[in-house]
Structure formats: structure tokens, C-alpha cells
Structure 1
Amino acid sequence: MFQAMPYDGTRSERFEAVLAQLGALMKDEPNPIANLANAAALLKFSLTDTNWAGFYLYDGNELVLGPFQGMPACIRIPIGRGVCGTAANERRTLVVDDVHAFPGHIACDAASNSEIVVPLIKDGQLLGVLDVDSPLKHRFSDEERRFLERFAAMVSEVL
């Protein structure tokens, strides 16, 4: 059973604890939806000042809403459109300090002001994206980017 670990200590130590929790949650669980649901909940619980954390899955044509925590969201996102579609198309992490300044931003939640999107890639194939939104501008640091890239890599391995 999952038990939250205390988050005293440095941010780096907290991120390592979250990664350890993610590993424990997904250990021996073959169901990708269960793993994605727990991963989304863990992120939403672990990252302060966020209003949405979850996944969009690539169906071979577009990104389709997967497990998440937050307000109802856009269901389908074309590859190359918005922050999620652009990160998927370019196969690279995008950190957007002000989503309102991002060309073609898709506003699923009007409260979102910054966003980070990390592609989920396994064996060179796009599986989807990890998406985290915040009501604060300039919310996501480089340290958080590195943490979320490791988080996404762990999730990708069980998909």
C-alpha cells in the first residue's frame, strides 16, 4: 500500500523520494492505466502550485486524454498543436513560463499560466506526453524539468 513519505529536506531529496515512490507504485503492476493513474496522483500530490497533472497518449494519429488529476481537460490534441502537441512533434521537453505567450496554446483550463510537457518515448517511439500545469507564471525550474524527465522515463518503461 502507498504511504506518503515526509517531504522534509532539500528539493532534490524530495524529488528522489517521489521517484522512489513511483517505482514502488508501479512495481509488478502490468496495467498501464493503473500505473498512469497512480503516477498522475503522485505528481499532483507532490508538486505544489499545480492545477493539472496527467498524461496524453499517442494513438498513432493524435494525443488522446489519459489519466490525470485536475479540472476536465481537452480530449484530443493534434500533433504539432499547442504545448502538448508541439512537445510530442519535436520529441523534446517544453517549459513554457507564460502559456498565453505560446503561439497556438490550447486553453483547457483558464487558470493555467505556465506548463511543462515531457514526451513519453520508449525504444524511439512516441507513446504520449506528461503534462503539468500551474496557475503561476514561471513555475517550473530546470531542476523540476530534470526530475519530470526522469519521472516520464520511468513511466515510459511500464507502458
Structure 2
Amino acid sequence: MFAAAPIEAADKAGLYAELAMQARGLLHGERDRIANAANFAALAWHALPRINWCGFYFFDGRELVVGPFQGKPACVRIALGKGVCGTAAATRETQVVRDVDAFPGHIACDGASRSEIVVPLVDAEGALLGVWDVDSPDLARFDDEDRAGMEALCRVFLDALR
């Protein structure tokens, strides 16, 4: 059985490196997308400071549909190109939003969220699988270090599905 160890790191790079190592161990040998997404979201929820939501939206061929997450109830469906998640999915580029109120078309599932980061999940063949979404009640919670760390975490998730 896997038991996540508390993460104590001097900086964000160390936090994400340790979190990626724990995620690799947690997901090792399991290929089920839902099972891995549930455990991945729980691991991130307990490790990342100052967040109020984290989870997955999976692409069903038409739109993004909420998947496993941690936090308050979420929007169920998001159209491609709409909000931060839909923009990340449509552009296939990570979106780092310092102030969600300044993001055109932001979808406020939780009014307490002030900043957000969304990483698109694309398989080895280039197909969109969905997005990984993390919200914070703090303005400017996410930066380029978080982008690099979250993208590395998402590669661990995607690698486990192969």
C-alpha cells in the first residue's frame, strides 16, 4: 500500500520534484485513467499549499467533463475555448492566470478562486485527453515555476496511462 509522505521542500522546484516522485510511486503499475486521476488529485490536494480546488476535466470528443477532483462541487461541462480550462484545451497551452477576474470569459465555479493554472493533457499521438486544473483563493498564486512543476506532474500522470 502507498502512503504519501509529508513534503518538506526549501523551494517550489523541490516541492514539485518530491511530488512527482510520490506520484510516480502512487500510479506505478496502474493504467486506469479514473483510478489514477482520483489518487493524483488527492495527492496534489494534500501537498500543494494555498489551493482550494484541483482536478481533472476529460475531453469526451465534444467538450470537457469534470473528472476526479478535490474541493467544492465543480462545473460539470466546459466547452472548448470557454474559460481557462476550455482555453487550455483549445490552444493546448498551459494557462497561468494571476487574476481570474481579469481573464475574459472566466467561468466562476467557486467564487473564492482568485488565480488558476490549467495544463492540457495530450497523449503521445497528439490527442486531447483533457486538462488538469488547480485553483487558489490567493491572487497571483501561480507562476512559471508552478507551470514547470505542474507540467512535469502531468507528464507523470500521462506516462502512467501508457
Name the TM tier (shorter chain).
over 0.9
2:75 aligned with 1:74 = yes
Q: 2: CA distance between counterparts of 1:116 and 1:38?
A: 19
Q: Deviations over 1:26-66 (max 9, x none)?
A: 00112211110111111111111100000000001000000
Letter in 1 for 2:140: H
Structure-2 residue corresponding to 1:146 = 148
Q: Identity of counterpart residues, as a percentage?
A: 52
What is the alpha-carbon distance in structure 2 between the residues aligned to residue 59 and residue 158 of structure 1? 20
Unaligned 5+ segments in structure 1 are: none
Q: Which residue of 2 aligns with 1:101?
A: 102
In 1, Cα distance between the equivalents of 2:4 and 2:96?
30
Could you tell me how far 1:88 is from its partner in structure 2? 0.3
Could you list the runs of 5+ residues in structure 2 that have no partner in the other structure? none
- Secondary structure of 1:83's counterpart equals helix
- Equivalences for 1:30-41 in 2 at 5 Å? 30-41=31-42
Distance in structure 2 (CA, Å) of the matches to 1:151 and 1:13: 13
The number of residue pairs the alignment matches comes to: 159
Partner of 1:23: 24
In the aligned structure 2, how far is the partner of 1:71 from the partner of 1:3? 23
* Matches of 1:46 and 1:71, distance apart in 2: 17
Amino acid at match of 2:56: F
CA distance in structure 2 between the partners assigned to 1:140 and 1:6 by the alignment: 19
Query: Which gives a bigger RCO, structure 1 or 2 (Cα 8 Å, sep 6+)?
Result: 2
The match for 1:61 is 62
Q: Is 1:127–1:156's contact at 8 Å kept on the other side of the alignment? A: no
Q: 1:2 to 1:50 in 2, by over 3 A?
A: same
Partner SS for 1:153: helix
Q: CA deviation at 1:101?
A: 1.0
* Residues 120 and 127 in structure 1, CA contact (< 8 A), matched pair in contact too: yes
Partner of 1:91: 92
Q: Distance in 1 between matches of 2:116 and 2:86?
A: 13
Structure 1 CA distance, aligned partners of 2:12 and 2:91?
A: 29
Structure 1 runs (4+) deviating above 6 angstroms are none
Shift of 1:85: 0.2
Please provide the CA RMSD for this pair: 1.1
Distance 2:153 2:4 in 1: 18
- Looking at structure 1, the residues matched to 4 and 83 of structure 2 have their Cα atoms a distance apart, in angstroms, of 36
Identify the residue that residue 159 of structure 2 maps to in structure 1. Answer: 157
Q: Which amino acid aligns with 2:118?
A: V
